[in-house]
Chain A
């Protein structure tokens, strides 16, 4: 096995993966083996023996050959997942041991730092501990489907294309900075509820926990991974263009892993008894040899260039912000304290002159969405931005508070979407069939208006009207996408999973 493969194997083994004798790489979680696949093909270690076998239908692990211009390759995405999963598993395994230790008699060798760490754990109620376990159970490796960002850690890689570093003064090709989305959310929520009692329930990404548990969670985060306090001090840069993204990423990963290892070192015997061992990082020193070694394996598909568009990835990345019901984290807006009663409104750009509502569009708008207009609603105290999702041509709504804080993004339910598309399709057919149809006929051609269970009538463009309005309706031009400007205030019921749609 050549040096490069030895390095690859060492890093893979340190991430809970197995390398089978035929080179196949599997994820090993608590004895269960899971295959790692890319486009349906298994991942293999590119040793000479494996390469000399039939290589059709395999993907090889060779992230070091990534082209400097490429976006994240498919293999790098796997690297991202397995490393984050390793860190998450290591982090999760620590609190139970610490709770056990905190119950025992203090040892003389413990310094003040250790005592500070254990003190809050000692007094924790069993209910709070259970809540804490639940809370950490929600930690995730990726942004979830529904857009919630429960990621324990995210390594943000940035291309710097050989600019000079502000830290070391050397040429930098890539830099990686750790981010802790879940921790940030905890801190944000606890700051928002300053002064409340410990029993107060706090909503953390659609999960409610007591304030005491959140405080304890923050405490543990800060002691186990001190980097959460100052991520900027843990930026790692790659000074060689070869495998730049990977090297900066892995050095940053090793930094965080080192911190988790450190807490295990403090209570070595207790962790050893629990069967928890430090994350192996011995291979990281070999990363500096990559410029010499990376040619030991030829460039491989899925490793050099991204085959899939990054846009999908980006959209998901932004969705996580959209899913957050957050106000303070974005740069464009000053933190808005939601203290009822006091309404300090300064007229200016972004403020609706009539209502005084903040109408700056929410910065968390998905890249594909185009907002067209907004609407202030005094009754609910909400600003609603209407727009179109350019990907699907379906209308979207962004609902914000009167202070301009973003609350949620709503899209029509799939049934409505289908209906709309059918409408567009029928329209085309109608046109072909009889050129001389009158406007009423065209309206029918778009698909039949549908009677809803509540007695209202739903038009193919997604509009819900009273039957008496039917004849007054202006024909809607066949744009294929429903025109959102026709929606009145109540038509908001057409969005989301409103039961009116049946």
Chain B
């Protein structure tokens, strides 16, 4: 890594509302048995087409229906939680600079708008994204500035009380589990194989691409892995372990380490912290020690509870923990929204959308993909962004492709009609109101505190089972083909 300079520019503090307990729901890959037949058929007749793979991946990735236990965070969810947004400028060379934003939630101490921050209050990193600003010239040769969002990550943390054994289930983890299995299977010790230490969240901090919040991405990666390695083994005669190992280095699967993150890296090097084992956040004192201008850029205005009307989420939204369409699909939409907002450079966005053709005049009113959006207020991650409309448009398009596409088909029997009303804040929570088949009277509202996404992410399995299941899935599908 090149020498980098990281400068703290802003530290904005705010406060969330009380929440219902959240539940763990992780990404799963569920192939219809018919689809497996189709894959098999294609493989026997010359190889699986990428198009088929995409098709199947789109339909087969989903959140697991059954919740896998409650998410545990420090002091529980039923409290108003302080959150903070840190903005850094990261310089690595002259022509480019990038802005790094990190969202954290606060734990402990006596921090408030009146009294200021308590030195013992700790900041738990939740997610981060960076925008790249580069100096280029336009087609006429005039110098111009381009800004793009170039990385979006979330942090993954285990149970803060160390009571539950949780594992990360990013595609990378499933691949490592399968790799471990392939290796131990080769020398006959597979019975003793008990999983990958790298995926274990009980004692470490991991990072995950926000793309992993998209179940379709997850299923596509796993299918690609299965098919690619299967081909390598059967056609090129490679050892399975080698084939998986080779595939794991591809960029679409690989994950970065927290040590690569400029914020974490600076904190660790200045404070001489060399291990993230038992990481429980950075305290305000530590922050002030590392960033000497911390007190100057501090903004506690939004932490003042008297400035806002009381909005108790527990009274206005449904609780989690059941198995019904509303909850499963609302959770999926909320996770997806977090990723798509960041990927498209939006800080917050309020919209309603539906794939019910009777509500937008059928094909005539279709904006593409059989889905209609009514956009509301939106906010960019960049200051003075001139391209807001473009960002909203691309959000709508991407959200349609990754979320609505699998619920929308050309004919009535292929559709699940969904009405969504969403309000999503990167620096706050995501609220989803969902109803099916035009039954507004049966709509349900869920509030997803996405500032806990480091604990509640769909890339975390509430039990070892999730990873085991994915692992045996890969192994089974390999044997089946």
Contacts and interface: CB of A to CB of B under 8 A. Distances in A.
Interface of A: 39, 46, 48, 51-58, 60, 67-71, 159, 161-162, 173, 241-242, 244, 298-301, 304-309, 311, 368, 370, 390-391
Interface in B426-462: none
B95 interface: no
Contacts of A68: 33, 36-37, 480
A162 B67 CA distance: 34
A51 B322 contact: yes
B23 interface: yes
Most buried by A among B34, B65, B191: B65
A56 B469 CA distance: 18
A69 B477 contact: yes
Nearest to A311: B191
B30 interface: yes
Counting chain B CB atoms within 10 Å of each CB, the highest count among A68, A69, A161, A241 belongs to: A69
B465 interface: yes
B66 A301 contact: yes
Given A55-B66, A57-B69, A241-B34, A69 B191 contact: no
Given A161-B40, A390-B189, A307 B469 contact: yes
B328 interface: yes
Closest A-B pairs by Cβ, 4 of them: A241-B33, A298-B65, A51-B323, A69-B476
Contacts of A58: 66
Contact of A55 (B30, B34, B36, B321): B321
B322 A60 contact: no
Contacts of A391: 191-192
A55 B322 contact: yes
Given A51-B322, A69-B476, A300-B65, 14 more contacts: A55-B321, A56-B70, A67-B30, A67-B33, A68-B36, A69-B31, A69-B480, A242-B33, A298-B65, A304-B28, A305-B469, A305-B473, A370-B188, A390-B188
Nearest to A162: B37
Contacts of A56: 23, 67-70, 321
Contacts of A304: 28, 30, 469
Interface in B141-195: 188-192
A53 B192 CA distance: 38
Residue from B28, B188, B472 whose CB has the most chain A CB atoms within 10 Å: B472
A67 B472 contact: no
A244 B36 CA distance: 13
A86 B431 CA distance: 50
A68 B321 CA distance: 28
23 contacts: A46-B323, A54-B321, A56-B321, A67-B31, A67-B473, A69-B473, A69-B480, A70-B473, A159-B480, A161-B40, A241-B37, A242-B33, A299-B64, A301-B465, A306-B469, A306-B476, A307-B469, A307-B472, A308-B468, A309-B190, A309-B472, A368-B191, A370-B188
Interface residues of B, number: 35
B324 A299 contact: no
A93 B405 CA distance: 57
B448 to A, nearest CB: 17
Nearest to B23: A56
Interface in B25-63: 28, 30-31, 33-34, 36-37, 40
A179 to B, nearest CB: 23
Contacts of A370: 188
Contacts of B328: 298
B479 interface: yes
Nearest to B21: A56
B479 A69 contact: yes
Contacts of A51: 322-324
Interface of B: 23, 28, 30-31, 33-34, 36-37, 40, 64-70, 188-192, 321-324, 328, 465, 468-469, 472-473, 476-477, 479-480
Contacts of B23: 56
Contact of B472 (A46, A60, A244, A305): A305
A175 to B, nearest CB: 16
Given A46-B323, A55-B323, A300 B66 contact: yes
Contacts of B480: 68-69, 159, 161
A119 B297 CA distance: 100
Contacts of B476: 67, 69-71, 305-306
A51 B68 CA distance: 14
A28 B365 CA distance: 59
Contacts of B324: 48, 51-52
A173 B36 CA distance: 12
Nearest to A68: B33
B203 to A, nearest CB: 23
Contacts of A305: 469, 472-473, 476
A395 B28 CA distance: 42
Nearest to A299: B30
A397 B412 CA distance: 66
Contacts of A307: 465, 468-469, 472
Nearest to B185: A311
Nearest to B325: A298
Contacts of B322: 51-55
A390 B36 CA distance: 35
A247 to B, nearest CB: 12
Nearest to A58: B66
Interface centre among A51, A159, A305, A311 (most CB of B within 10 A): A305
A391 B188 CA distance: 9
B300 to A, nearest CB: 37
Nearest to B477: A69
A166 B28 CA distance: 36
A111 B33 CA distance: 49
B196 to A, nearest CB: 15
Given A54-B322, A241-B36, A306 B67 contact: no
A430 B308 CA distance: 68
A207 B65 CA distance: 49
A71 B33 CA distance: 14
A71 B321 contact: no
Contacts of B477: 69
Contacts of A54: 321-322
B461 to A, nearest CB: 10
A184 B481 CA distance: 35
A298 B188 CA distance: 37
Contacts of A309: 190-191, 472
Contacts of A159: 480
A388 B28 CA distance: 39
A419 B328 CA distance: 53
Contacts of B28: 299, 304
Nearest to A302: B465
A67 B323 CA distance: 20
Nearest to B66: A301
A299 B469 CA distance: 13
Nearest to A65: B30
A43 B479 CA distance: 30
A69 B37 CA distance: 10
Nearest to B328: A298
